């Protein structure tokens, strides 16, 4: 039994301590928003925040997050930045299949929380760990800029 704090609530998960946080969320806590894509920290679909840091839940064992604060897509809109990111995603109709978008939004929110006005290079650095096979990258970039209150394209 491992106890952690998910989206502001202390929860106990009855799974082996080596179970990745991804599967603890999905199979242990029945929270489906965080997605399984690669299992090797290569695609970013499973991105959550652990103590505010964007973290790949598929390679993070439950034991490593005991007592820590985990935020998932289900609650990212509780923060002002997360809400703005989700709104920009909706305004620009970013999604296609949508399977990667929870992870994209978690990474984008972590970026803007730390860097409120990111450059294109900042966006590349923060977002290049999140694969989208539908190729929604053009709109992801635009949505991040919109959420940051910046013009759609870099003037440079």
The answer to whether residue 29 forms part of the interface with other proteins (CB under 8 A) is no
> Cα(107)–Cα(99) distance, rounded to whole angstroms?
14
The answer to whether residue 71 forms part of the interface with other proteins (CB under 8 A) is no
Tally of CB atoms within 10 A around 87: 14
Among positions 138, 149, 151, 152, the unique one binding other proteins when judged by CB under 8 A: 138
Stretch that binds other proteins, among 1-9, 63-71, 110-118, 133-141 (CB under 8 A): 133-141
Residue of 126, 122, 116, 125 whose CA lies nearest to 150 = 116
> Cα(56)–Cα(44) distance, rounded to whole angstroms?
6
The answer to whether residue 133 forms part of the interface with other proteins (CB under 8 A) is yes
> Cα(60)–Cα(104) distance, rounded to whole angstroms?
18
Q: How far is the CB of 138 from other proteins (least distance, A)?
A: 5
* Contact positions vs other proteins (CB under 8 A): 15-16, 19-20, 23, 26-28, 30, 32-40, 42-43, 45, 72-74, 77, 86, 89-90, 93-102, 105, 123-124, 127-141
């Amino acid at each position: 039994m491992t106890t952690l704090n998910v989206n502001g609530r202390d929860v106990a998960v009855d799974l082996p301590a080596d179970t990745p946080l991804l599967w603890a969320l999905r199979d242990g806590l029945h929270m489906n928003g965080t997605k399984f894509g690669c299992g090797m920290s290569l695609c970013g679909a499973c991105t959550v925040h652990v103590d505010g840091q964007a973290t790949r839940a598929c390679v993070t064992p439950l034991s490593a997050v005991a007592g820590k604060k985990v935020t998932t897509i289900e609650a990212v809109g509780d923060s002002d930045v997360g809400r703005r990111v989700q709104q920009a995603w909706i305004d620009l109709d970013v999604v296609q299949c949508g399977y990667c978008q929870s992870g994209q939004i978690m990474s984008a929110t972590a970026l803007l929380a730390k860097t409120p006005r990111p450059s294109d290079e900042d966006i590349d650095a923060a977002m290049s760990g999140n694969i989208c096979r539908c190729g929604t990258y053009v709109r992801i970039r635009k949505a991040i800029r919109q959420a940051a209150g910046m013009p759609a394209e870099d003037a440079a």
